């Protein structure tokens, strides 16, 4: 099978399009201001105002910490053993509806920090 230049261009365009439209963004423009991963809730409120939709809940997390069998801290690392410590992390998702000509943005906060920005469907 002979591959011509049009076929190669078509394949490159499709593959390039997959990389140009990521599921999660690292920033988005809110008017003239830019919201970035790592911003606090207060900073996002100052840049964008209140969201159109807001959800809040707690997620249970199990963190691994290492303990020693007794209070002797001079033991080697091999004598330590892992223990699961349960923590509860407050999570919030804010949705900004930017209108019918733009995609909605879903911002996920853990604690007080923005950790993810997702792109939703067209707004209304």
Cα 114 to its chain centre, rounded Å, is: 7
pLDDT exceeds 80 at position 11: no
Q: What is the pLDDT of residues 19-30, one digit of tens each?
A: 544 445 788 898
Structure-block tokens of residue 71 = 């209070």
pLDDT value of position 12? 66
User: Is 58 or 18 the better-scoring residue by pLDDT?
Assistant: 58
The pLDDT confidence band at residue 57, using thresholds 50, 70 and 90, is: very high
Question: How do the domains of the chain map onto residue ranges?
Answer: 26-122
pLDDT exceeds 60 at position 1: no
Q: Which residues contact 111 (CB under 8 A, 6 or more apart)?
A: 89, 90
What region, left, alpha or beta, does residue 45 occupy, with left being phi > 0 and alpha being psi -120 to 50 degrees?
Answer: alpha
pTM of the model: 0.67
In terms of C-beta density within 10 A (0-12 exposed, 13-18 middle, 19 or more buried), how is residue 92 classed?
middle
The pLDDT confidence band at residue 8, using thresholds 50, 70 and 90, is: low
């Amino acid at each position: 099978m002979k591959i011509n230049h049009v076929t190669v261009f078509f394949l490159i365009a499709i593959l390039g399009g997959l990389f140009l439209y990521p599921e999660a963004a690292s920033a988005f423009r809110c008017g003239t201001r830019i919201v970035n991963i790592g911003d606090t809730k207060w900073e996002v409120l100052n840049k964008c105002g209140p969201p159109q939709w807001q959800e809040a809940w707690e997620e249970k997390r199990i963190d691994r910490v290492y303990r020693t069998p007794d209070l002797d801290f001079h033991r080697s690392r091999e004598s330590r053993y892992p223990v699961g410590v349960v923590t509860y992390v407050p999570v919030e998702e804010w949705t900004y509806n930017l209108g019918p000509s733009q995609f909605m943005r879903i911002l996920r906060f853990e604690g007080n920090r923005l950790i993810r920005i997702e792109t939703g469907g067209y707004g209304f």
